[in-house]
Structure formats: C-alpha cells, structure tokens
A and B are shown apart, each in its own frame.
Chain A
Amino acid sequence: MLVSVNPGLIIWTIITFLVLVFLLSKFGWKPIVGALENREQAIRQAIAEAHQARDEAQKILEAQNKLIASAEAEAREIVQAARETSEQIRREADVTARTESQRLLDQARREIENAKELALRDIRDVVADLAVAGAGKILKETLDPERHRAMVDDLVASLEKSKA
C-alpha cells in the first residue's frame, strides 16, 4: 500500500509538472531572472565605473600634488632669488652710499682746503701789505716799497717752509 506505484498518478504528476515548468518559465522565471541579471549587470557596471572614477580621481590628485609641489618649489626659488637680489641691491647700495659719502667727504675736504688756501693767500697778502705799510711807516724813506716787498715775500716763504 505504501510503496505501490500508481501509473495514473505518475502521468498526472508529469503533466502537472510540465505545465508548471512551461507556465513558470514564461510568466515567472524569465522576468525574475531577467530582472536579477539586469540588476547584477548594472551593479557590476556601477562598480567598474566607481573603480574607474576612483582611479581617475587618484590620477588627478597625483597631478594636483605634483603641481602643488612644483609650485612650492618655484615659490621657494622665487623667494630665494628675491632674497639674493635684495641682498645684492642692499650690498650695492651700501657700497654706493659709502663711495658717495666718501666722494662728498673728499669734495668737502677739497673745498675746505681750497677755501683755506684762498683765505691764507688773502691773509698773506693783507699781512704783507700791513707789514709793508707798518715797516714803511717806521722806516719811511729808508727803502723803496719794491725792495721791501721782496724782502717780506722771502720772509713769508721761509716761514711757510719752516712750518711745513
């Protein structure tokens, strides 16, 4: 009874199953598996795209970093150059100022020297004249003025020489 085979039931089972396979393939499995595969495809694509985007971002980031590094180096170079230039300018200015001041100093000194020379010459003339006039007053007609002047000049010259 428990294991007796009923051929009619076998046939009913096969018919039921085959009809079910046909109906489900058409109205059930095809859309479900199709949707599943579409989604898998879409997800796989999305992942691939994400990977690609990540790689691209990585590349851009690297380029950016390289750019920043080069910009930094350039900036450093520029600052360095500017510092050097300014140093040079400062040094040059220093030198120029020093020479200029030296020159001005020299000039002033020379002018002072000239002025002193002139003043001395004037003083000498005046002193000579005064001396001649004084001596002439004292000596009156003892000597003519021309001889006196020559005497005094000699005296002054000898004075200067001894002073030097």
Chain B
Amino acid sequence: MVFPRVRLVAKTFVLVAILSCPALAADSHASAADTAVVGAHGQGEVAAAAHGEGHGNQVDAIHHVVDAREIEIPWPNRDLAKVIHLPSLGTFHIGSIPVDMAITKHVVFLWVAAILLFVVVSVAAAKRSRGTDPPRGITNLIEIFVAFIRDEITVPSLGPHYGRVLLPYFLTAFFFILFCNLLGLVPYGSTATGNISVTAALATLSFFVIQGVAISSMGFGGWIKHLTGGVHWALWPIMIPVEIMGLFTKPFALCVRLFANMTAGHVVILSILGLIFIFRSVAVAGLAVPFSVFIYLLELLVAFIQAYVFTMLSAVFAGLGVHSSHDSEEAEAH
C-alpha cells in the first residue's frame, strides 16, 4: 500500500509543478493559483496593475498578507477579471483616534466566513438526528467538533455550569477562527485572522469572557481581592500592578499567537516561491513548488491547531477564575 501512495504524491507534485508553470512564465496570472500570481507580481505588469501599484523587481510577500481596499475577482479570461473597490463608510473619532469604518478586504472575508459558517451550521442543525439515531453527513462532522469542544475544552476547564453556559461562545470562536483561517488557503482568499486588528478584537472578546467568568464566579469583591494575589498588604504596591498586567498579557498572547501563526505560513510560501524569481530560473520551481505545497499542507494543519489553541487557552484562562473561587466555597454554595 505504501508504494502506490508514494507514487500518488509524486504525481501530485508533478501536476502542481506543471500547473504552476504558466504562472511562472508570467503569462496568465489570472488563471493560476493565488500564491503564484502574487509571487509573479514583481515580474509582470498585468499583475502589478491589478494590484494597483507597481513594485518594480521586488517580490512583495507582505503586500499579499496585509489588508486592502479592493478585492480581485479572478477569471480565466483576463478581460473579465475584475478588481472591486470597496466602499469607505466614513471616519469618526474616539478622542483623538480616527476610526475608519471602511469595508476592507478582511471585513469582507470576515463576512464570507460568517455567512459560510452560518449556512453550514444551520444546515447541520436542520439535519440533526432525533432520538438515538447516529447523526449523518455534515451534522456528524459538526457534532464531532461540538462534542470535542464541550467534553475536552469547556467542561473540563470551566466546570459543568460555565462550561455549558459559555459553550456557544467557544463554539463560535472555534469555528469562526477556523473558517477565517481556511479562507486564507483558498486561491484569491484572504486570511482575516492574519490581521492583528481582527485577532485583537477576538482577544478583546476573550478578555471580557475571562473577566466576566471570574467576576461572576468570585463576586466583584472576590475579583478585586484576587488582584492582590493574597499577599501581605505591604506587598500590594508590587502585586496589584503585576496582577493587572497579568490580566492583559493573556489575551495579548492570544492575539499575537493567532496573528503570527496565520501570517507566517503565507509569508513562508511566498518566500519559497519568490526564490524562483530571485534566481530567475524555472528549474528552481522543481524544488520550490513541492516545498510550498508542503508548507501549504502544514498551514492546513495550523489552521485547525490555532483555532483549537485560541479556544482552548481562552477556556483555560476563564477556568482559572472559576477554580480560584474554590478557596471561598461558601460563595458558590449560595
């Protein structure tokens, strides 16, 4: 069984390499894979024009990862391929900080992920099995994740009460992040979770959930008391700032971890494909394309892992608030 599988993988590599060749020739950008097009970006004027800015002879990986004000609609016929300029909804100020409510590329992909997720989950909910019949198809797939998140993440971390009450939040966080991550792996897609503003927003929501659980579990007084770390009052001037910093480092870590993981894979793929243009040789593609396919598959794995890690760590951090309250058991007994 091993031998045919090795041959299959080899064939896949050859196929991918062949399919990539037209793009490498900088001829038909619109028909090739997303990554290849942006990789070829530095070479051809067409792609450069499509991006609305020229980069000369540079391979710009960052440009592909960051947010944009327009979306490219791919089409095999280059004349029908379009660039949609997204509307700007105006800017208002919070204090002196300008808040630009423009619909950017990442906002659109957040919505695409949200709509896809809503459709998939409502279909799964509509087809759910009644009674003891096993679930089938998409419902089964969704249920595996739901049962896993409930039984392995929320209930063990937060206990049976909070684990059930907050389950919808954690399920949504997991699936939303997963869908955003996966959309970045679709050609012409964009990884909204590779934007630090998006991960900061998600981490902010986690911050509120974490503190909300802690306050609800310990009471406001207990929560304040927890900030003193239970040490002698003379140490409070040191302890309280440390604890308050601790409140923010956890979501900050969540934010940066997700952002960095989702950005890194794309940058690595583009860098490897960029080698072809740095060396100005199609022969390099023989090595670069299989390697970028490997990184792509790794990213597929990372998409799931990071969605899991974000959800799991949010639950664990929230669980710390629940478990601290076991010191004052009377409060919970009421």
**A75 located at the interface, meaning its Cβ lies under 8 Å from any Cβ of chain B in the complex:** no
Asked if B150 and A33 sit within 8 Å, CB to CB, the answer is yes
Given contacts A24-B172, A28-B125, A35-B128, contact A13 B110 (CB under 8 A): yes
B interface SS class: helix
C-alpha gap A7/B94 in the complex (Å): 10
Q: Given the complex, which residues of B lie within 8 Å of A42, measured CB to CB?
A: 131-132
Contact at A29–B167, with CB atoms within 8 Å?
A: yes
Interface residues of A in 10-65 (CB under 8 A from B): 10-14, 16-21, 23-25, 27-33, 35-36, 38-39, 42-43, 46
What 0/1 readout, one digit per residue, does chain B (93-130) give for beta carbons within 8 Å of chain A? Answer: 01001111111101100110010011001101100111
Contact indicator A24/B197 (Cβ below 8 Å):
no
Contact A29 B104 (CB under 8 A): no
A7 proximity list for chain B (CB < 8 A): 94, 97-100, 197
Instruction: State whether A39 and B131 are in contact (beta carbons under 8 Å apart), knowing that A8-B99, A28-B124 are contacts in the complex.
Output: yes
Chain A residues with a Cβ closer than 8 Å to the other chain, count = 37
**Contact among A12, A24, A35, A39 for B121, CB-based, below 8 A:** A24
- Name, among A12, A23, A39, A43, the residue most crowded by chain B CB atoms within 10 Å (CB to CB): A12
Flag the segment in B10-18, B199-207, B320-328 that touches A. B199-207
Given A6-B197, A17-B205, A39-B132, also A12-B118 (CB < 8 A): no
A9 at the interface (CB under 8 A from B): yes
Q: Report the separation of the CA atoms of residues A9 and B66 in the bound assembly, to the nearest whole angstrom.
A: 12
B247 sits at the interface (CB 8 A): no
CB distance A9 to B195 under 8 Å?
Answer: yes
User: Do the beta carbons of B196 and A3 come within 8 Å of each other?
Assistant: yes
Question: Is B142 interfacial (CB-CB < 8 Å)?
Answer: yes
Least Cβ–Cβ distance between A120 and chain B, in angstroms: 112
A164 at the interface (CB under 8 A from B): no
Interface size class of B (residues with CB under 8 A): 35 or more
Q: When the two chains form their complex, are residues A31 and B106 in contact, meaning their CB atoms are under 8 A apart?
A: no
How far apart are the CA atoms of A25 and B175 in the complex, in Å?
13
Q: Could you tell me the distance between the alpha carbons of A42 and B139 in the complex, rounded to whole angstroms?
A: 18
A150 CB-CB contact with B under 8 Å: no
Q: In the complex, what distance in Å separates the CA atom of A1 from the CA atom of B97?
A: 17
Compute how far the CA of A2 lies from the CA of B264 in the bound complex, rounded to whole angstroms: 11
Q: Is the CB of B121 within 8 A of A11?
A: no
C-alpha gap A8/B110 in the complex (Å): 13
Cα(A16)–Cα(B192), bound, Å: 12
Q: Which residue of A lies closest to B260 (CB)?
A: A3
For residue A5, CB closer than 8 A to chain B, the reply is yes
Cβ-defined contact, B65 with A2, below 8 A: yes
Interface centre among A13, A38, A39, A46 (most CB of B within 10 A): A13
A43 to B130 alpha-carbon distance, docked (Å)? 12
Most buried by B among A2, A7, A28, A33: A28
Tell me whether B169 is interfacial, beta carbon within 8 Å. Answer: yes
- B198 contacts the other chain (Cβ, under 8 Å)? yes
Q: A18-B205, A24-B172, A38-B130 are in contact. List 16 more A-B contacts (CB 8 A).
A: A3-B196, A5-B197, A6-B100, A11-B201, A13-B202, A14-B204, A14-B205, A17-B201, A20-B118, A24-B168, A25-B168, A25-B172, A31-B128, A36-B147, A42-B131, A42-B132
Interface set of A (CB-CB < 8 Å, partner B): 1-14, 16-21, 23-25, 27-33, 35-36, 38-39, 42-43, 46
The 7 closest A-B pairs by CB, nearest first: A13-B201, A28-B121, A25-B168, A9-B197, A35-B128, A31-B125, A10-B201
